[in-house]
A and B are shown apart, each in its own frame.
Chain A
């Protein structure tokens, strides 16, 4: 063990302390506005976009491919560390089962076409031994789909949505939500 003198031991910590103490906040930076009002909270808009994707293009994909909703949930995580969250990440995970005949090639091409029709930027699908992966983006949303025989599962998420720390913690403290499919 490298045992150092007291000053040297605490120096890195002190530097971080200086960093924090020296913070001169940027007035338009959400991370510097701890008491931001609910009306300025950008997260609901992202949630709205995610719901629109679920209700819209994902429903069309399910209908087109004859998929049955299996499960889905949504949760929020802090972007950074708990002492400096800076914002929140929204995650929606879901899974469909397929009782119908569905080949990977046919399925992925249909999904790709439906996403592009809905305004998503779709990357070229890639194949692994057990599944095919398709990724797409639209606005702040990222979509990751994995298609295997009789299974489509995915992740609809956002990059860090910058908010005040208080707002970020409020979202991160929300209980995870089960998603309905209707």
Chain B
């Protein structure tokens, strides 16, 4: 039999040694250093000796000016280094995507070669010789083209690394820093910051302005004013993440040093505690990557460790809201503060995975804890009757203020959305549902709203509240969900019960929860699991038809206990069990027990 020259396998694309996520980390570290240098430089530029005269004052001014000038060189050098590291990271993202395509193509070509080899080996005569030779020639041509593309990819990888090294070496001496500082094209960060402030509140305008800036300008204003860029709706979420991570790293470094020196003020202690909680939360998910870019899956969209009476504010997204097909924003309720971030991220990550498993496109799941939610311990006998924060849970002021902030946040991520507008679901749990309700009443631009364990929302009907589709998760044995007014009456302190049939929302199945008194709080805090989580994932992914529904309260099949009836029934359900153990449980859960 005549020989057929079958091409050899195409070798695999080498592993990319420099990963996009690692490049992000490098840029974050450089950014944190740049922020620190700029803070010191700003201080050095501003100091003077107002009460001094003569040679002493001249000497001081001279020293301060020289010091500030030296730092200005370092500042300019860091800006260039950050810009280079950021550009390197973006090149790696593109190179990673190219590698994935090349690997896929390589698998196809090699599989086709294997098929041909097997068919040639199985042939018993030359009847298919011409066909085999033609297929072999085609495969050889495809393999050659692929090898050229892989070589080109390798060259680009080398170029990217070479460019980064050259950029860093270009600013690694005092003289080069001074040159960078004196460069005529150095960004004017003062003017950039003024412009950004003037556009504040208009995410579309901010986004358009940001896109017109050069990378160097974006990086310079980011390291000069990370708090401004990190909070600016309309700026791409990945850039806000960079600013916030830079600020976080700077705060940890700066306040960590002050802590070591025993110089922390009370307010700084709060900031450091909150910054550590955010850092720990992000660390947990640092190994999880965005499958399309290989950058960190978690993005820090808001970072305000000093706000909200010391509780701090934070927003973290799993996935990129700017590019995702489906975006959810999860708003927590009572007792929310930044130190509790870990548990809230766990819930949001669980929803993220469940929504991805719907298979309806890319997903971004945001945890938004950036309002002054009522804090405290509802089981603390000192709290409700005293002047602690939990008292305000019975008021709507924090929900109104929080709703206003939430509206601004959602406007911001709507403003930076790329491509077709994402399908956006806003989710509020407990007091967070009241907050969401106020945001919706003010025109929050959401497609769907999910209200979980809601103590009330500020409208009697879903139609009066919003144009969004309103979904309600409400366990009949969750006492908080019975606080709203509606069928058979709740207190109505925080508004109307959205699970009430007359409200007109769509109630989804959550299960009732256990009736025992000691399970009632667990019923309130367990919406992010089981059937409730599954149904939320359907809503988030736009699979409305898959949602398992249940009748609203007051509708046929929607019988339920009122709050007083639930309290009596749950106590009865628990009757017969040891009162002493109940007392021990209560003692263990109350801050009073801890105090004494």
Contact = CB atoms under 8 A, between A and B. Distances in A.
Interface of A: 1-4, 8-27, 29, 31-34, 70-73, 75, 77-84, 86, 89, 91, 93-95, 97, 99-103, 123, 126-131, 133, 135, 144, 146, 148-151, 153, 155, 159-160, 165-166, 176
Contact of B397 (A1, A86, A89, A131): A1
Contacts of B567: 15, 18-19, 22
Contact of A86 (B287, B390, B522): B522
19 contacts: A2-B395, A9-B391, A9-B395, A12-B394, A20-B590, A21-B586, A22-B517, A23-B585, A24-B517, A24-B571, A32-B582, A79-B522, A81-B335, A99-B15, A103-B108, A127-B359, A129-B361, A133-B357, A133-B359
A133 B526 CA distance: 25
A77 B579 CA distance: 29
Contacts of B394: 4, 8-13
Interface stretch (B206-214, B218-226, B340-348): B340-348
B396 interface: yes
Contacts of B494: 12
A15 B563 contact: yes
A148 B293 CA distance: 11
Contacts of A94: 287
A19 B343 contact: no
Contacts, number: 246
Nearest to B363: A128
Given A12-B393, A150-B103, A144 B291 contact: no
Interface in B319-363: 325, 334-335, 340, 342-343, 346, 349, 353, 356-363
B445 to A, nearest CB: 24
Interface of B: 12, 14-15, 99-101, 103-104, 106-108, 110, 280, 283-292, 294, 325, 334-335, 340, 342-343, 346, 349, 353, 356-363, 377-381, 383-385, 390-391, 393-397, 400, 455, 479-480, 483, 491, 493-494, 516-522, 525-526, 529, 563, 567, 570-571, 574-579, 581-582, 584-586, 588-590
Nearest to B285: A93
Given A15-B563, A17-B378, A153 B588 contact: no
Contacts of A80: 521-522, 525-526
Nearest to B10: A101
B384 A10 contact: yes
B379 A160 contact: no
B117 to A, nearest CB: 16
Interface-central residue, A21, A26, A129, A146, by most chain B CB under 10 Å = A26
B571 A155 contact: no
Contacts of A78: 343
B340 A93 contact: no
Contacts of A153: 287-289, 291
Given A11-B493, A14-B384, A131-B291, A150 B395 contact: no
Contacts of A26: 516, 518, 574, 577
What are the nearest 3 A-B pairs in CB distance? A126-B359, A13-B384, A148-B291
A17 B15 contact: no
Given A19-B520, A25-B574, A94-B287, A77 B343 contact: yes
A32 B585 contact: yes
B518 A31 contact: yes
Contacts of B526: 79-80, 160
Given A4-B394, A24-B575, A75 B384 contact: no
Contact of B393 (A13, A32, A91): A13
A73 B287 CA distance: 8
Given A22-B567, A93-B287, 9 more contacts: A4-B395, A11-B394, A16-B378, A23-B517, A80-B525, A83-B380, A133-B356, A148-B100, A160-B529
Q: Is the interface of A mostly helix, strand, loop or mixed?
A: mixed
Given A20-B586, A20-B590, A84 B287 contact: no
A139 B253 CA distance: 44
A120 to B, nearest CB: 15
B6 to A, nearest CB: 18
Contacts of B529: 159-160
B396 to A, nearest CB: 5
B285 A20 contact: no
A100 B12 contact: yes
A166 B283 CA distance: 25
Nearest to A176: B284
Contacts of A31: 518-519, 522, 585
Interface-central residue, B343, B518, B578, by most chain A CB under 10 Å = B518
Contact of B522 (A84, A101, A176): A84
Interface-central residue, A20, A149, A165, by most chain B CB under 10 Å = A20
B571 A150 contact: no
A15 B245 CA distance: 42
Contact of A91 (B286, B346, B493): B346
A10 B284 contact: no
A129 B340 CA distance: 33
B383 A13 contact: yes
Nearest to B580: A25
A54 to B, nearest CB: 14
A52 B176 CA distance: 56
Contact of A101 (B12, B397, B586): B12
A14 to B, nearest CB: 6
A175 to B, nearest CB: 9
A12 B483 contact: yes
A33 B581 CA distance: 7
Contact of A149 (B104, B110, B571): B104
Nearest to A125: B359
A32 B395 CA distance: 32
Contacts of A81: 334-335, 521, 525
A1 B396 contact: yes
A32 B107 CA distance: 57
A168 to B, nearest CB: 11
B106 A146 contact: no
B574 A83 contact: no
B356 A20 contact: no
Contacts of B334: 81
Contacts of B395: 1-4, 9
Contact of B479 (A16, A23, A146): A16
A151 B106 CA distance: 16
Contact of A32 (B361, B483, B518): B518
A17 B384 contact: yes
Contacts of A97: 15
Contact of A29 (B100, B455, B518): B518
A72 B491 CA distance: 48
A1 B556 CA distance: 35
Interface-central residue, A11, A101, A149, A160, by most chain B CB under 10 Å = A101
